[in-house]
Protein backbone atom coordinates (compact mmCIF):
# COMPACT_ATOMS: atom_id res chain seq x y z
CA UNK A 1 0.00 0.00 0.00
CA UNK A 2 1.21 3.53 -0.75
CA UNK A 3 0.66 6.71 1.30
CA UNK A 4 -2.39 7.71 -0.80
CA UNK A 5 -4.04 4.35 -0.07
CA UNK A 6 -3.58 4.90 3.66
CA UNK A 7 -4.64 8.52 3.62
CA UNK A 8 -7.83 8.10 1.62
CA UNK A 9 -8.92 4.79 3.16
CA UNK A 10 -8.54 6.36 6.59
CA UNK A 11 -10.52 9.40 5.48
CA UNK A 12 -13.29 7.08 4.22
CA UNK A 13 -13.29 5.12 7.48
CA UNK A 14 -13.49 8.29 9.57
CA UNK A 15 -16.50 9.43 7.51
CA UNK A 16 -14.82 12.68 6.42
CA UNK A 17 -15.79 13.34 2.82
CA UNK A 18 -13.02 13.86 0.26
CA UNK A 19 -13.15 17.15 -1.69
CA UNK A 20 -11.25 17.17 -4.98
CA UNK A 21 -11.04 19.61 -7.89
CA UNK A 22 -9.25 19.87 -11.18
CA UNK A 23 -6.56 22.48 -11.89
CA UNK A 24 -4.52 22.98 -15.01
CA UNK A 25 -2.05 25.78 -14.30
CA UNK A 26 0.14 27.29 -11.60
CA UNK A 27 -2.17 30.04 -10.24
CA UNK A 28 -5.32 27.93 -10.00
CA UNK A 29 -3.37 25.02 -8.50
CA UNK A 30 -1.93 27.34 -5.89
CA UNK A 31 -5.30 28.87 -5.03
CA UNK A 32 -7.04 25.48 -4.84
CA UNK A 33 -4.20 23.99 -2.78
CA UNK A 34 -4.08 26.88 -0.30
CA UNK A 35 -7.87 26.63 0.09
CA UNK A 36 -7.46 23.12 1.53
CA UNK A 37 -8.47 20.68 -1.21
CA UNK A 38 -7.77 16.96 -0.55
CA UNK A 39 -6.30 16.24 -3.97
CA UNK A 40 -5.92 17.99 -7.31
CA UNK A 41 -6.62 16.30 -10.62
CA UNK A 42 -4.93 17.54 -13.76
CA UNK A 43 -7.86 16.28 -15.80
CA UNK A 44 -7.81 15.72 -19.52
CA UNK A 45 -10.92 17.94 -19.37
CA UNK A 46 -8.24 20.55 -20.07
CA UNK A 47 -8.86 19.57 -23.69
CA UNK A 48 -12.14 21.49 -23.47
CA UNK A 49 -11.74 24.15 -20.80
CA UNK A 50 -8.13 25.13 -21.61
CA UNK A 51 -7.39 24.04 -25.19
CA UNK A 52 -10.83 24.60 -26.74
CA UNK A 53 -11.41 21.14 -28.24
CA UNK A 54 -14.97 19.74 -28.27
CA UNK A 55 -14.02 16.81 -25.98
CA UNK A 56 -11.01 15.09 -24.38
CA UNK A 57 -10.11 12.87 -27.32
CA UNK A 58 -7.48 15.18 -28.84
CA UNK A 59 -5.45 15.58 -25.63
CA UNK A 60 -1.88 14.26 -25.86
CA UNK A 61 0.59 13.06 -23.29
CA UNK A 62 2.69 16.16 -24.05
CA UNK A 63 -0.31 18.39 -23.15
CA UNK A 64 -0.73 16.51 -19.87
CA UNK A 65 3.00 16.68 -19.04
CA UNK A 66 3.14 20.45 -19.56
CA UNK A 67 0.05 21.17 -17.43
CA UNK A 68 1.01 18.64 -14.75
CA UNK A 69 4.33 20.46 -14.33
CA UNK A 70 2.56 23.80 -13.91
CA UNK A 71 0.10 22.39 -11.36
CA UNK A 72 2.81 20.58 -9.43
CA UNK A 73 4.77 23.83 -9.10
CA UNK A 74 1.69 25.47 -7.53
CA UNK A 75 0.48 22.67 -5.23
CA UNK A 76 2.55 22.32 -2.08
CA UNK A 77 0.13 20.29 0.08
CA UNK A 78 -2.42 18.36 -1.95
CA UNK A 79 -1.29 15.36 -3.98
CA UNK A 80 -1.48 15.96 -7.73
CA UNK A 81 -3.04 13.20 -9.82
CA UNK A 82 -2.72 13.43 -13.61
CA UNK A 83 -4.96 11.88 -16.25
CA UNK A 84 -3.46 9.42 -18.70
CA UNK A 85 -4.94 10.70 -21.96
CA UNK A 86 -6.58 8.53 -24.59
CA UNK A 87 -4.21 6.19 -26.45
CA UNK A 88 -1.48 6.20 -23.79
CA UNK A 89 -2.42 3.11 -21.73
CA UNK A 90 -3.36 0.45 -24.26
CA UNK A 91 -1.14 -2.15 -22.60
CA UNK A 92 0.30 -2.47 -19.07
CA UNK A 93 3.80 -1.59 -20.35
CA UNK A 94 2.53 1.48 -22.21
CA UNK A 95 0.56 2.61 -19.14
CA UNK A 96 3.65 2.40 -16.93
CA UNK A 97 5.86 4.20 -19.48
CA UNK A 98 3.30 7.02 -19.93
CA UNK A 99 2.65 7.33 -16.20
CA UNK A 100 6.38 7.61 -15.46
CA UNK A 101 6.49 10.74 -17.66
CA UNK A 102 3.63 12.30 -15.68
CA UNK A 103 5.37 11.42 -12.41
CA UNK A 104 8.57 13.02 -13.71
CA UNK A 105 6.54 16.19 -14.33
CA UNK A 106 5.41 16.22 -10.68
CA UNK A 107 2.31 14.00 -10.45
CA UNK A 108 1.95 11.77 -7.39
CA UNK A 109 -0.36 9.33 -9.19
CA UNK A 110 -2.38 8.84 -12.37
CA UNK A 111 -6.00 8.33 -13.37
CA UNK A 112 -7.22 6.15 -16.22
CA UNK A 113 -10.70 5.47 -17.57
CA UNK A 114 -12.18 1.98 -17.51
CA UNK A 115 -13.11 -0.92 -15.23
CA UNK A 116 -12.43 -4.67 -15.34
CA UNK A 117 -10.77 -4.49 -18.77
CA UNK A 118 -8.09 -2.21 -17.33
CA UNK A 119 -7.25 -4.35 -14.30
CA UNK A 120 -3.92 -5.49 -15.88
CA UNK A 121 -2.88 -1.85 -16.45
CA UNK A 122 -3.84 -0.85 -12.89
CA UNK A 123 -2.00 -3.84 -11.43
CA UNK A 124 1.14 -3.05 -13.47
CA UNK A 125 1.08 0.60 -12.39
CA UNK A 126 0.63 -0.27 -8.71
CA UNK A 127 3.41 -2.88 -8.91
CA UNK A 128 5.63 -0.15 -10.38
CA UNK A 129 4.85 1.98 -7.29
CA UNK A 130 2.47 4.35 -9.12
CA UNK A 131 -0.78 5.15 -7.25
CA UNK A 132 -3.86 4.80 -9.46
CA UNK A 133 -7.20 6.59 -9.34
CA UNK A 134 -9.69 4.52 -11.34
CA UNK A 135 -12.61 6.04 -13.27
CA UNK A 136 -15.79 4.12 -14.14
CA UNK A 137 -19.34 4.88 -15.28
CA UNK A 138 -19.47 7.53 -18.00
CA UNK A 139 -16.04 7.60 -19.65
CA UNK A 140 -15.43 10.97 -21.38
CA UNK A 141 -12.70 9.47 -23.59
CA UNK A 142 -15.50 7.34 -25.16
CA UNK A 143 -17.99 10.19 -25.55
CA UNK A 144 -18.02 9.88 -29.33
CA UNK A 145 -18.94 6.15 -29.29
CA UNK A 146 -21.47 6.83 -26.51
CA UNK A 147 -23.08 9.74 -28.38
CA UNK A 148 -22.98 12.13 -25.41
CA UNK A 149 -22.63 12.39 -21.64
CA UNK A 150 -25.39 10.00 -20.52
CA UNK A 151 -26.26 8.70 -17.05
CA UNK A 152 -24.89 5.18 -16.51
CA UNK A 153 -26.33 2.39 -14.39
CA UNK A 154 -29.99 2.90 -15.24
CA UNK A 155 -30.54 -0.68 -16.46
CA UNK A 156 -29.95 -3.90 -14.51
CA UNK A 157 -27.24 -4.90 -16.98
CA UNK A 158 -25.38 -1.57 -16.78
CA UNK A 159 -25.65 -1.56 -12.97
CA UNK A 160 -24.15 -5.06 -12.86
CA UNK A 161 -21.22 -4.01 -15.06
CA UNK A 162 -20.54 -0.94 -12.88
CA UNK A 163 -20.65 -3.01 -9.66
CA UNK A 164 -18.18 -5.52 -11.17
CA UNK A 165 -15.94 -2.70 -12.45
CA UNK A 166 -15.80 -1.12 -8.98
CA UNK A 167 -14.69 -4.39 -7.37
CA UNK A 168 -12.22 -5.12 -10.19
CA UNK A 169 -10.42 -1.77 -9.91
CA UNK A 170 -10.23 -2.10 -6.12
CA UNK A 171 -8.80 -5.62 -6.40
CA UNK A 172 -6.29 -4.42 -8.99
CA UNK A 173 -5.00 -1.89 -6.44
CA UNK A 174 -6.57 1.51 -7.23
CA UNK A 175 -6.50 3.86 -4.21
CA UNK A 176 -9.92 5.34 -5.07
CA UNK A 177 -12.46 5.26 -7.88
CA UNK A 178 -14.22 8.11 -9.67
CA UNK A 179 -17.89 7.36 -10.38
CA UNK A 180 -18.93 9.62 -13.25
CA UNK A 181 -22.63 10.29 -13.91
CA UNK A 182 -23.87 7.07 -12.32
CA UNK A 183 -27.45 6.87 -11.02
CA UNK A 184 -27.27 8.23 -7.45
CA UNK A 185 -28.94 5.14 -5.93
CA UNK A 186 -26.36 2.82 -7.47
CA UNK A 187 -23.43 5.10 -6.48
CA UNK A 188 -24.70 5.17 -2.86
CA UNK A 189 -25.02 1.39 -2.87
CA UNK A 190 -21.49 0.78 -4.25
CA UNK A 191 -19.57 2.95 -1.73
CA UNK A 192 -20.17 0.81 1.38
CA UNK A 193 -19.25 -2.40 -0.50
CA UNK A 194 -15.71 -1.09 -1.13
CA UNK A 195 -12.74 -0.36 1.15
CA UNK A 196 -11.47 2.34 -1.22
CA UNK A 197 -13.32 5.66 -1.46
CA UNK A 198 -15.74 6.49 -4.26
CA UNK A 199 -15.31 10.00 -5.67
CA UNK A 200 -18.49 11.13 -7.39
CA UNK A 201 -19.07 13.53 -10.24
CA UNK A 202 -22.73 13.92 -11.13
CA UNK A 203 -23.45 10.72 -9.13
CA UNK A 204 -25.30 12.13 -6.13
CA UNK A 205 -24.31 12.77 -2.54
CA UNK A 206 -23.89 9.17 -1.46
CA UNK A 207 -20.23 8.96 -2.49
CA UNK A 208 -17.22 9.14 -0.17
CA UNK A 209 -16.08 12.32 -1.90
CA UNK A 210 -16.80 14.65 -4.79
CA UNK A 211 -14.79 16.02 -7.70
CA UNK A 212 -15.63 18.85 -10.08
CA UNK A 213 -13.99 20.62 -12.98
CA UNK A 214 -12.78 23.91 -11.46
CA UNK A 215 -14.18 25.92 -14.36
CA UNK A 216 -17.69 24.58 -13.67
CA UNK A 217 -17.40 25.48 -9.98
CA UNK A 218 -16.22 29.05 -10.55
CA UNK A 219 -18.15 29.82 -13.76
CA UNK A 220 -15.14 30.14 -16.03
CA UNK A 221 -16.53 28.11 -18.93
CA UNK A 222 -20.00 29.58 -19.50
CA UNK A 223 -20.56 27.84 -22.84
CA UNK A 224 -21.20 24.42 -21.31
CA UNK A 225 -22.57 23.96 -17.81
CA UNK A 226 -23.18 20.40 -16.61
CA UNK A 227 -26.53 20.25 -14.79
CA UNK A 228 -25.03 18.53 -11.74
CA UNK A 229 -22.29 21.15 -11.10
CA UNK A 230 -23.29 23.89 -8.67
CA UNK A 231 -21.63 27.12 -9.85
CA UNK A 232 -20.37 29.07 -6.81
CA UNK A 233 -18.80 32.10 -8.52
CA UNK A 234 -19.20 33.96 -11.81
CA UNK A 235 -15.61 34.37 -12.88
CA UNK A 236 -16.40 34.79 -16.59
CA UNK A 237 -18.58 37.83 -15.81
CA UNK A 238 -15.94 39.25 -13.43
CA UNK A 239 -13.27 39.01 -16.16
CA UNK A 240 -15.59 40.40 -18.81
CA UNK A 241 -16.51 43.36 -16.56
CA UNK A 242 -12.86 44.15 -15.84
CA UNK A 243 -11.98 43.97 -19.56
CA UNK A 244 -14.88 46.25 -20.54
CA UNK A 245 -13.82 48.79 -17.88
CA UNK A 246 -10.23 48.64 -19.13
CA UNK A 247 -11.22 49.06 -22.80
CA UNK A 248 -13.39 52.07 -21.90
CA UNK A 249 -10.62 53.60 -19.78
CA UNK A 250 -7.99 53.18 -22.52
CA UNK A 251 -10.32 54.78 -25.05
CA UNK A 252 -10.82 57.71 -22.68
CA UNK A 253 -14.57 57.20 -22.25
CA UNK A 254 -15.95 59.81 -19.87
CA UNK A 255 -16.07 58.93 -16.21
CA UNK A 256 -13.52 56.11 -16.46
CA UNK A 257 -10.30 56.07 -14.44
CA UNK A 258 -7.28 55.91 -16.84
CA UNK A 259 -5.42 52.54 -16.82
Could you list the residues that contact ligand KIV (CB under 6 A)?
22, 41, 43-45, 83, 178, 180, 201, 211, 213
Q: Which residue is nearest to ligand KIV (CB)?
A: 43
Q: What is the CA radius of gyration of the chain?
A: 19
Active site residue 180: yes
Burial class (CB in 10 A: 0-12, 13-18, 19+), 217: middle
Q: Which is nearer to ligand KIV, 32 or 213 (CB)?
A: 213
Cβ atoms of 110 and 88 closer than 8 Å: no
Nearer to ligand KIV, 118 or 211 (CB): 211
Catalytic residue among 113, 145, 157, 180: 180
Shortest approach of ligand KIV to residue 124 CB, angstroms? Answer: 21
Q: Please, which residue, 143 or 167, has the CB nearer to ligand KIV?
A: 143
Shortest Cβ 22–ligand KIV spacing (Å):
5
Q: At what angle do helices 26-34 and 61-74 cross, to 10 degrees?
A: 50
Nearer to ligand KIV, 109 or 250 (CB): 109
Provide the minimum distance between the beta carbon of 125 and ligand KIV in the complex, in angstroms, as a whole number: 17
The sign one gets for the Cα dihedral 124, 125, 131, 135 is: negative
Q: What is the 3-state secondary structure (H, E, C) of 233-258?
A: CCHHHHHHHHHHHHHHHHCCCCCCCC
CB of 71 to ligand KIV, least distance (A): 12
- CA distances to 168, 194, 198 from 3, rounded to whole Å, are 21, 18, 17
Catalytic residues: 180
Amino acid sequence: MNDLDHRFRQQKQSGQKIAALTAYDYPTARIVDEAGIDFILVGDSLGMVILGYPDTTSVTLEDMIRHTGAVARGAKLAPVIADLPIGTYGSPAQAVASARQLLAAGARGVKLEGGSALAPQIRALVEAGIPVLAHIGMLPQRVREEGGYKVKGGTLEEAGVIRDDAVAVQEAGAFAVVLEIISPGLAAEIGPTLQIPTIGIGSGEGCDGQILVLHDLVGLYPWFKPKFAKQRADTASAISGAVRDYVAAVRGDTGMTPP
